[in-house]
Amino acid sequence: MFPDDINSTEYLEALQNALDGPIVRHEIMSTPEYMKVYSAVKHYQDYACVEPPAMTTMCCNRRLYNWLISYMTKNIRDIKDKALVLSGPALLDFYITQWEYFQTTHMLIGRLFFSVDQQWIERQCKQDPNYTCISSTLIQLWYFYLFRRLTTHVMSNVISLVDAERSGRAIDSTLITRLYKAYVELKPEGIAKCNAEFRERLGAYICYYENPYINAAVSYIDTKTHSLRTPEHMREYIQVLSELFIQEDERSERYLRSNSLAPMRNKLNERFLRSEIGCIYQMADLMFATGNDNNGLCTIYALLSRFDNSNVLQQFLDKFVAQAKKTITQNCPEIQASTDGGKAVFAKAAVIYLSDTLNAHLDMIATLFCNNSSFTKELRHVFAAAVNTDEMHSRLGVTPARLAAEFCNIVLKNSKTRSDDLGSDLTQTAELMLHKAMDVLHASHDKGLFFKFYQLHLTRRLLDNTSMSLDLEKTAIAMIY
């Protein structure tokens, strides 16, 4: 029962005893109990509004407001004191549980003291900025008296748990996930704002969770790679760094919000890749030149692909196509070095070499570089530029267009009459050989010359009845056009 005299100490003591159940002991308040407390607060407010003079009303409301703030402050401080003696999973579970209780308390207090908010505090806030609505005040109390004094302790335990997971021990990952969600839900007044609009509503999460988590990840990777950041250990550094990045990316997807992944990636890139980018490019040059470390090239590509800046990956692409052009030009068969087998044997060797070299690099792009369309486009451009140079014409003795036309004629002629030209390649399908010729033709800048010689050879095959088959002739024409 509440005393009749609302100005008595007993009245506020009765109100405190009624609130201790749901707020301190976390008991579920029944509807009759709720209505009893609500009626007591409403009665207090009604008395303050009708009792003259106006100063009495203001004093009564301030007294109730101050009592509520003092009551909640004491409860929050008690929670903080209990949390400080805990550690590990017990601490995280305690904080999360208390935050969930507080949210229920926050809602309950808001409903019980709704009339105070509406009838007095809103007017008082306009006159005195030190007063805020009860809802905002409770959040501020939690933030200043518990959260800010406890968050360093909480985050050190979060990072300890993550480190335990890194070392192979099993942890309850749901505790960390629930904790960062609790940080997101806490949105006190005056917390530092973010420049990015989509991150403005993340509350205390960015400053007090995201930043410490990312800094701890940087510190961990730095410890693992510090001794390897030298030119002589660069190959091992790249491999170890890639493995650590993969592990941390997977871990971040569990323990960070999705819009924290980009800041995490950018921080790791700047700390461990940007400063070593020159050495990484040199290592890529060496791998391209030797051609015996595809796994290393794949690793470098994956690391450089983490940058949002396309110029970083473009430099890697430039090195790839430069090496491809060098391979195409320098290793292509020369007409002067051909055997006594004649021009047909040379044409076959040259076309097959050019086509196989192109397709080997395309396979490299598909296998090592995630079938990057920019790499494919640039490779085809470089291949076309290489086969149309004067140097290539000198090596081949003819233009690529003429070479492709002669090779098509070899493939399409009756095998019995030209078996000496095709040699052991008779075991391959004619269509496969035609595809090789098309690789050279499509790279040629003088397709008109190809058509001229192709039509001439086609006419002779048809008139002399030396074509392998009309169906194959139709297939070849479909490939060309």
Phi, psi for residue 413 in degrees, rounded to 5: -70, 155
| Amino acid identity at 25 | R
Look at the pTM and tell me if it is higher than 0.85. Answer: no
Mean pLDDT of 1-29: 81
What does the alpha-carbon distance between residue 442 and residue 445 come to, in Å, rounded to a whole number? 8
Q: 420 pLDDT exceeds 50? A: no
Phi, psi for residue 168 in degrees, rounded to 5: 100, 0
Contacts of 371-380 with C-beta under 8 Å, sequence gap 24+, read 374/317, 375/317, 375/320, 378/317, 378/321, 379/320, 379/321, 379/324, 380/443
Return the percentage of the chain with pLDDT > 70, whole number: 85
What does the alpha-carbon distance between residue 383 and residue 439 come to, in Å, rounded to a whole number? 10
What does the alpha-carbon distance between residue 476 and residue 33 come to, in Å, rounded to a whole number? 91
Q: 427 pLDDT exceeds 70? A: no
The owner of tokens 């690099």 is 361
Mean pLDDT of 16-36: 87
Q: Is the CB of residue 297 less than 8 Å from the CB of residue 303?
A: no
Spatial neighbors of 169 by CB under 8 A, at least 6 apart, are: none
Mean pLDDT of 324-337: 80
More confidently predicted of 282 and 12: 282
Q: Is the CB of residue 174 less than 8 Å from the CB of residue 161?
A: no
- Number of Cβ within 10 Å of residue 218's Cβ equals 17
Q: 333 pLDDT exceeds 70? A: yes
Transcribe 193-259 into DSSP letters: PPSSGGGTT-TTHIIIIIHHHHHHHHHHHHHHHGGG-SGGGHHHHHHHHHHHHHHHHHHHHHHS-GG
Q: 125 pLDDT exceeds 80? A: no
The owner of tokens 């306009």 is 126
What does the alpha-carbon distance between residue 303 and residue 296 come to, in Å, rounded to a whole number? 11
**Structure-token pair, residue 262:** 């980009």
Instruction: Write down the pLDDT at residue 240.
Output: 97
Q: How many residues does the chain have?
A: 481
My answer on whether omega of the bond before 53 falls inside 30° of 0, hence cis, is yes
| CA distances from residue 316 to 142, 280, 282, 310, 408 in whole angstroms, order as listed | 52, 10, 10, 10, 36
The owner of tokens 């995630």 is 370
pLDDT band at 122 (very low <50, low <70, confident <90, very high): low
What does the alpha-carbon distance between residue 84 and residue 328 come to, in Å, rounded to a whole number? 69
Average pLDDT value for the chain: 85
pLDDT band at 405 (very low <50, low <70, confident <90, very high): very high
What does the alpha-carbon distance between residue 194 and residue 206 come to, in Å, rounded to a whole number? 8
Instruction: Write down the pLDDT at residue 196.
Output: 46
More confidently predicted of 448 and 63: 448
